[in-house]
Amino acid sequence: MKQKLFFLLMVSGATWSALSGSPSMAAETSINLCNANTDKIYVAVAYNADQKKLARGWWAIEANKCVDLSFPLLDDRLFLFAQSSNQVLNWIGTTPLCMDLTQVFDFPDAENLPCTGANQGFRSFREISVSSLSTGTAGTGVPTFEFKPADAVSVGGLLKFCNDTTDLTYLSLSQKKSGEPKFPIKGWFMIDAGKCFETRRDPDAEEVYFYVQGGAGKLSWRGDTPLCTDDVKGYSFDDAASMDCKGNNQVTQLFRKERLNADGFEFRLQVADAHEIRSMVDLCNSRSEKSLMTIAWERPQFSGELMTRGWYVLEAGACVNDLPIDSAEVFIHIEDAGPARATILEGPIEACIDQKMAFMFSHATQMACSVENQGKASFAAKSIAPGKVRLDVP
């Protein structure tokens, strides 16, 4: 996936009123925003409106230039965020508000938005008192605020992940402040073999957590921080650490943690650094009739918890290939594909399944299993060798 162009659309103060009406009858307050840098900057502004914080952006300000803007302020406060065009310098504060990172936006309640949409993210705005600003800096007689290099936070502009393997890889990542309990997370970002993926660095972030799958399911780059993911589709979770991760296709994975510094961050995905799944299993139906199969296994990093997955609809003699099983045992439940759904293979191990739909549960022994169509199934244990394995059942 290629990084989108930095801030695709920009507006000036002169054109903003055509895009969005004023949310209140407050008098317009003028302010000069000045760029005291040698590089262009992009500015977002927020203010109180109807007991909410309205956030708008973006305004482009050329180096050593100013823009004169007007806002219907209900009080004396204005909230500002700015970033240099190379994404290294950031002018931030302590008020987190949602914004669109790539396009013009107008969010009437930026403080309380879920902020999980494509290219959306929270950024920390600086609060200023308009009445305390000097009126002489720009020579216009209106309050003036200068974005000075000395007041900026310098961060590496990009997070970069490069795929040095010969297979497609999929990346999930979370950026956050150190000590912040919430883990906002997004995935999956596809990285072709020999290519790199780049994404913008959150200027507030001090840590990045990531998990990567590759090698057609055989390889993973992981750590020791458990976070929830969606295993089958793109997703965005506001806090992957607090979720019970027991929904269909939700899988807890162990994320790797890296500290961020003022430089850009780069990580190279190499086979030598990856965890290799123990067995790649071909599961084959040795019956003379069509069978419905579901499997379960215990991941070594989550002792005592079974992952279940199904259904595999296999004609007589057919196989489902390359199931990644990170265990010396796999547990199998088989039913006949006929209307009666007679059980063909079961055993003493019980775990939750969905009795009608395709499913994947990563905490199948801990689930209440009380949602419609869910139920407990009994599984028989089968030992499997490392490497490529063919398993004929029943």
Region 245-269 average pLDDT: 90
pLDDT above 70 for 329: yes
Task: Provide the pairing of β-strand 158-163 with 265-269.
Answer: parallel
12, 71, 74 from 143: Cα distances, Å:
18, 13, 16
Q: What pLDDT score does 138 carry?
A: 52
> Which pLDDT band, with edges at 50, 70 and 90, does 21 fall under?
very low
Query: Which secondary structure element, helix H or strand E, spans residue 56, and what is its range?
Result: strand 52-61
pLDDT of residue 215: 81
Q: How many CB atoms lie within 10 A of CB 119?
A: 13
What are the tens digits of pLDDT across the range 42-101?
A: 999 999 988 899 999 999 999 999 999 999 988 999 999 999 987 778 999 999 999 998
* % pLDDT > 70, the chain: 92
The pLDDT of residue 154 is 77
Angstrom CA distances, 159 to 207, 247, 255, stand at 11, 30, 16
Please report where in the chains the tokens 């215990």 appear, as a residue.
298
Looking at residue 173, its pLDDT comes to 95
pLDDT band of residue 186 (cuts 50, 70, 90) is: very high
> Mean pLDDT, to the nearest integer, of 137-161?
82
* pLDDT of 190 over the 80 cut: yes
Neighbour tally for 352: CB within 10 Å: 23
The DSSP code sequence of 255-293 is EEEEE--SS-EEEEE-GGGSEEPSEEEEEEE-SSS-EEE
Lowest mean pLDDT among 154-163, 172-181, 204-213: 154-163
Specify the pLDDT at position 137.
55
Q: Which tokens go with 228? A: 């929830």
157 confidence band (pLDDT: 50, 70, 90): low
Nearest to 357 by CA among 205, 242, 247, 192: 247
Query: What's the mean per-residue pLDDT of the chain?
Result: 88
Mean pLDDT, rounded, for 128-147: 82
pLDDT for residue 26: 62
pLDDT at residue 12 above 60?
no
**How do strand 387-393 and strand 279-285 relate by DSSP bridges?**
parallel
Strand order in the sheet with 387-393: 319-325, 279-285, 387-393
Q: What is the average pLDDT across 26-39?
A: 88
* Tokens (6 digits) for 231: 């295993």
Q: Which amino acid is residue 167, in one-letter code?
A: D
Q: What is the CA angle 77-80-84, rounded to 5?
A: 165
Do residues 335 and 342 touch, judged by C-beta distance below 8 A?
yes
What is the C-alpha separation between 353 and 250, in angstroms, rounded?
13
131-148: average pLDDT: 81
* Per-residue pLDDT at 25: 52
Q: What is the pLDDT of residues 363-379, one digit of tens each?
A: 998 888 988 999 999 99
As a whole number, mean pLDDT of residues 153-166 equals: 86
Q: Is the pLDDT of residue 19 over 60?
A: no
Split at pLDDT 50, 70, 90, the class of 323 is very high
Specify the pLDDT at position 249.
Answer: 92
Query: pTM to 2 decimals?
Result: 0.71
pLDDT given for residue 147 in this prediction: 96
Return the domain boundaries, the chain. 13-153, 158-276, 279-393
